Amino acid sequence: MVPVDRPVAPPVEPERASGGDRPRWPLSLRDRARRPRLRQLARYGGPCSRLHDLPLRQDRQPPARDRDGGKGCRPRSPAVRCAARHGGRARRYPRRPRARLCASLCCTLYEPVERPVRAQDYLDRAQAQTGLRDFGADGWQEGLERLIAALDKQPLHAEGIARVEARLIATLAARLRIEDWIARHPAYGEGDIDGPVVIIGLPRTATTALLNLLANDASWRFVRSWEAGEPVPPPDIATEATDPRAAAERAFIAADTTFRGQHIHQAGGPVDDAALLRLSFRNQELGWPVWDYTRWWRDCDMAGTYAYHARTLKLLQHRRPPNRWLIKAPWHNFHLDALVATYPNARFIMTHRDPVKTIPSVASLLETSYATVMPKEAIDREALGREIMEHLQISLSRVTDFRRRFGEDRFLDVRHESFNADPMGEVNRVYDWLGRSMDATAEAALADWAAANRKGARGEHRYTADQFGLSEPELASVFADYRARFVGTP
């Protein structure tokens, strides 16, 4: 256990600029995103309207016209009036929340004090938030540094920067609390893990639907979103029904409509165990435009990450049985050797769907996710499509190689079309393969969920390959071997 020796930093106070009363704050990730890409942000950020109490630097004024030929932002005194992405006309006080978010970026044109963003800045903030200092064993810092560096290159908007900073600090705070809890209660870091059974495959191939369906059997233990984000205090089966984290999750899901029709996320239901990999900052962060980080992650050493993954599962199961774990994340595909080194008895259910349909679906989902952290106009659809195609091609090649070396008996294959046509039939195949049986209560619960969540019940997800610079013949050619073996399509 390696504590960070640096003392917890006190709250930062603004320093006063010489010759005036305006405070200058030290440079944060937010300012780093603003400053080098100011003109780009002014173009992409849309209209802005805010009363300015800060003097505008003449050399930092955004261009009069954006790249689309529409009216851009022109400084006015004392306010900025701007025009038309949100509603088609200039508004001094735009009603749309998106416009107000844009304002915080493309209108903040003052010169901040220089201070590079470092991982240590986030460590300090997490330590100050929790009052704790011990992050546990080393080895996770490189991932954090690389993730910050990749994010710093992107034109994030104000809400996106807030989301990024909140997640990084929350992840560090969760790690601090895990180490503190296990140090005070060593038994929570002990115990055996049954299995686990791991659902893998390409994203958008029914991995989430299969996980949610199986989770209706109470004999499984799975990761729930409210405990993945805040694993401490560990859940207790006697009190979890009134746990405030669960209530907060229900309220959030009821209010958030970002991914409805594209993704299943239900209160109290299972989620990817990717949040546990994130605790070591070696997780596939495809929801953010960080391809530099992704390329590093594909080939990084994951031994310590899966060891910490197991440490966290033991914490979560200590007072919340059963210990028969069912986990799912498509990103396990890349590091199956490290996974089985930690979990020698792991068995895999692999879902399959034609990549000609899967790749555009993934790209569409990621475009939606990118838009939560950056202006939609800044998203390069063609580059996104190419990156996804290459990324998932590598994913499948890694799984194929692993299956050849470790044997096919660890794997059960489930086709997307078969699952949609007869979900309970595929569930019975899963249980037969595992040598398990369902009781009547579990079977009824699974059947009810399958009926209520049939394909299309959450809305239609529309997309095409050419939206992302791809074509169906090209995708069919790139994934020809996989399609012939697992999808039954020549």
β-strand partners of 26: 113
Going by the DSSP 8-state scheme, the letter that residue 270 receives in this structure is B
Query: Residue 84 is which amino acid?
Result: A
Reported as type and span, the H/E element at residue 411 is: strand 411-415
DSSP conformation class of 458: T
Positive or negative: CA dihedral 479, 481, 484, 487: negative
pLDDT band at 248 (very low <50, low <70, confident <90, very high): confident
- Residue 350 φ/ψ, nearest 5 degrees: -110, 125
* pLDDT band with cut points at 50, 70 and 90 for residue 323: confident
Vertex 48, ends 46 and 52: CA angle to 5°? Answer: 155
Report the alpha-carbon angle 412-418-423, nearest 5.
85
Other Cβ atoms closer than 10 A to 388 = 24
pLDDT given for residue 52 in this prediction: 31
Note the pLDDT of residue 457: 52
pLDDT at 319 over 60: yes
Predicted local distance difference test score (pLDDT) of residue 51: 28
- The whole-number pLDDT of residue 459 equals 54
Q: Is the dihedral of CA 204, 205, 209, 215 positive or negative?
A: negative
327: left (phi over 0), alpha (psi -120 to 50) or beta: beta
Burial class (CB in 10 A: 0-12, 13-18, 19+), 300: middle
Token pair 């979890």 in the structure block, residue:
240
∠ CA 215-410-310, nearest 5°, is 60
Q: How confident is the model at residue 17 (pLDDT cuts 50, 70, 90)?
A: very low
d(CA 371, CA 196): 34
Kindly state the DSSP code that residue 25 receives in the 8-state scheme.
P
- Tell me: pLDDT of 315 over 50: yes
Q: Is 481 exposed, middle or buried (0-12, 13-18, 19+ CB in 10 A)?
A: exposed
User: What token pair was written down for 48?
Assistant: 């802005």
State the average pLDDT over residues 80-92: 37
Mean pLDDT of the residues in the chain:
79
Q: 216 with 446: CB under 8 angstroms?
A: yes
CA distance 126 to 347: 36
Q: 330 by DSSP, 3-state: which?
A: helix
Rounded distance between C-alpha atoms, residue 477 and residue 484, angstroms: 11
Average pLDDT over residues 406-429: 96
As a whole number of angstroms, the distance between CA 176 and CA 3 comes to: 10
Please tell me the pTM assigned to this model.
0.76
Q: Which residues of 260-282 are buried (b: 16+ CB within 10 A; e: fewer)?
A: eebebbebebbbbbbbbbbbbbb
DSSP conformation letters of 58-115: GGGPPPSB-TTSSB--EE-SSBEEB-SSSSSS-BSS--SHHHHHHHHHHT--S-PBP-
The H or E element that residue 133 is part of is none
Residue 330: pLDDT above 60?
yes
**Neighbouring C-beta atoms of residue 372, cutoff 10 Å:** 15
Instruction: Find the farthest-apart pair of alpha carbons in the chain and give their distance in angstroms, rounded.
Output: 77
The yes-or-no verdict on residue 97 having pLDDT over 70 is no
- Cis (ω within 30 of 0) for the bond into 233? yes
- The CATH number of 189-487, from 3.40.50.740, 3.90.470.20, 1.10.3720.10, 3.40.50.300, is 3.40.50.300
Quick: pLDDT tens for 433-442: 999 999 999 9
pLDDT at 349 over 80: yes
* Range list for CATH 3.40.50.300 in the chain: 189-487
Structure-token pair, residue 241: 């029904």
pLDDT, position 242? 86
Q: State the Cα–Cα distance between residues 375 and 157, nearest whole angstrom.
A: 6
Give the separation between CA 185 and CA 64, rounded to whole angstroms. 61
Per DSSP, the residues of 367-435 read HHHHTTTS-GGG--HHHHHHHHHHHHHHHHHHHHHHHHHH-GGGEEEEEHHHHHH-HHHHHHHHHHHHT
Q: Which two tokens stand for residue 91?
A: 């508004």
The pLDDT value given to residue 267? 65
The pLDDT assigned to 463 comes to 82
461-487: average pLDDT = 92
- Among 386, 369, 148, 293, smallest CA distance to 394 is for 386
Check: CB of residue 189 under 8 Å from CB of residue 182: yes
Give the CA angle between residues 359, 360, 362 to the nearest 5°.
65
pLDDT, one tens digit per residue, over 194-219 is 989 999 999 999 999 999 999 999 99
Residue 188 has pLDDT above 50, yes or no: yes
Strand duo 194-201 + 74-75: pairing: unpaired
Percentage above 70 pLDDT, the chain:
72
The answer to which of 9-18, 269-278, 376-385, 463-472 has the lowest mean pLDDT is 9-18
Distance separating alpha carbons of residues 480 and 489, to the nearest angstrom:
8
Residue-level pLDDT at 107? 34
Give strand ranges (E) for 134-284: 194-201
* pLDDT for the residue 458: 54
Q: What is the mean pLDDT of residues 362-387?
A: 95
pLDDT band of residue 229 (cuts 50, 70, 90) is confident
Q: Quick one: tokens of 485?
A: 């073996």
pLDDT for 66 equals 41
pLDDT above 50 for 88: no
Residue 325: enclosing H or E segment and its boundaries? Answer: strand 324-328
Share of the chain above pLDDT 90, in %: 63
Name the residue with higher pLDDT: 64 or 230. 230
Residue 77 has pLDDT above 90, yes or no: no
